[in-house]
Amino acid sequence: MELFKTISGVREWVKDQRQQGRKIGLVPTMGYLHEGHLTLMRWAKKSCEAVIISIFVNPTQFGPQEDYERYPRDLERDLRLAREVGVDAVFAPEVEEMYPPGYATYVEVEGLTEVLCGASRPGHFRGVATVVTKLFNIVQPDEAFFGLKDYQQAVVIKRMVKDLNIPVEIVTVPTVREEDGLALSSRNKYLTPEERRQALSLYRALKLGEELIRRGERRADKVREAMSREILSQPLARIDYVSVNDAETLKPVDEISGKVLLAVAVWIGSTRLIDNLVVEV
């Protein structure tokens, strides 16, 4: 497995892979890899002959009061895990390689980024869209893999790729969960054992919402109320949003029909967690 710190190093590797006729798959990550990330890599391995992952905690997608500084990092461990999965190359640049002095260009996806996490994290998706565009330009992958754990991110990236005519196929991968239902996240590392227990309320709320819809509830506010109650039964939980949205446009809905996204963002102590479920009626 190759490790690149520079864009020029990646470009040479990519050129070589292309000359050998290999299909290239990219898995963008912020590192501190877990089974969710590894699942994306395994999917990439299945459909691409050359798999490259990026490990980059992207400063432009963090707000000034957010956890950029303390976001968990462990490159040695990440390299070992990536190697075990059979990844061919890792791109782990320093911030200056991606954003050198004088850097001035950003990618903005409108509409889709104004709801859900976009509403509570201004500038977040601008940072995501920018870094992903840069990664696409650096690697020029045939396919890129994104997790549905970050559902809105996947929708935003698909929109961006379409709008900017970026020649890459976006593949989305279902959320990987712990046995008890908690969605895997690098941020789960922040949780104390008690917070970890209360964090299960996100998944419980989503399953409750799904169950209500299955039983015939079509009023989104009723579903939202029940989900919120479930979450607020935990003393350490504070709701950022509990939302029922159209799964494609991401617009909030009043009446549930077709494919809807149940999405939650919840503070458990000082850790903000997100999760979602798509329900089709």
Give 235's DSSP letter.
T
Binding-site residue total for ligand AMP (CB under 6 A)? 17
User: CB of residue 81 vs ligand AMP: minimum separation in angstroms?
Assistant: 13
User: Does residue 40 touch ligand AMP according to CB under 6 A?
Assistant: yes
User: Does residue 29 touch ligand AMP according to CB under 6 A?
Assistant: yes
Q: Which residues contact 278 (CB under 8 A, 6 or more apart)?
A: 148, 151, 247, 259, 260, 261, 262
CA 41 from centre of chain: 14
User: CB of residue 99 vs ligand AMP: minimum separation in angstroms?
Assistant: 17
User: Does residue 141 touch ligand AMP according to CB under 6 A?
Assistant: no
User: Does residue 30 touch ligand AMP according to CB under 6 A?
Assistant: yes
The structure tokens 């990439």 sit at 44
CA Rg, the chain, in Å? 19
Burial of 216 (0-12, 13-18, 19+ CB in 10 A): exposed
| 143 or 212: CB nearest ligand AMP | 143
| 13 or 146: CB nearest ligand AMP | 146
User: Does residue 173 touch ligand AMP according to CB under 6 A?
Assistant: yes
| 147 or 220: CB nearest ligand AMP | 147
Q: Is residue 37 annotated as part of the catalytic site, yes or no? A: yes
Residue 272 in 3-state DSSP?
strand
Residues 215-254 that bind ligand AMP (CB under 6 A): none
User: Does residue 121 touch ligand AMP according to CB under 6 A?
Assistant: no
Dist CA 4 CA 99 (whole Å)? 16
Residue 177 · residue 199 · CB < 8 Å? no
Q: Considering only residues 146, 190, 203, 241, which one is a binding residue for ligand AMP as defined by CB under 6 A? A: 146
User: CB of residue 94 vs ligand AMP: minimum separation in angstroms?
Assistant: 17
Q: Which residues contact 32 (CB under 8 A, 6 or more apart)?
A: 71, 72, 73, 74, 78, 186, 189
The residue of the chain with the least Cβ separation from ligand AMP equals: 147
| 39 or 201: CB nearest ligand AMP | 39
| 79 or 220: CB nearest ligand AMP | 79
Residue 272 · residue 266 · CB < 8 Å? yes
User: Does residue 85 touch ligand AMP according to CB under 6 A?
Assistant: no
Residue 73 in 3-state DSSP?
coil
Residue 31 · residue 148 · CB < 8 Å? no
Residue 273 · residue 199 · CB < 8 Å? yes
| 61 or 220: CB nearest ligand AMP | 61
Catalytic residue among 24, 37, 149, 190: 37
The number of beta carbons lying within 10 Å of the beta carbon of residue 46 is 9
Site string for ligand AMP, 175-194 (x = CB under 6 A): xx------xxxx--------
State the catalytic residues: 37
Which residues in this chain contact ligand AMP in the complex, by CB under 6 A? 29-30, 36-37, 39-40, 146-147, 149-150, 173, 175-176, 183-186
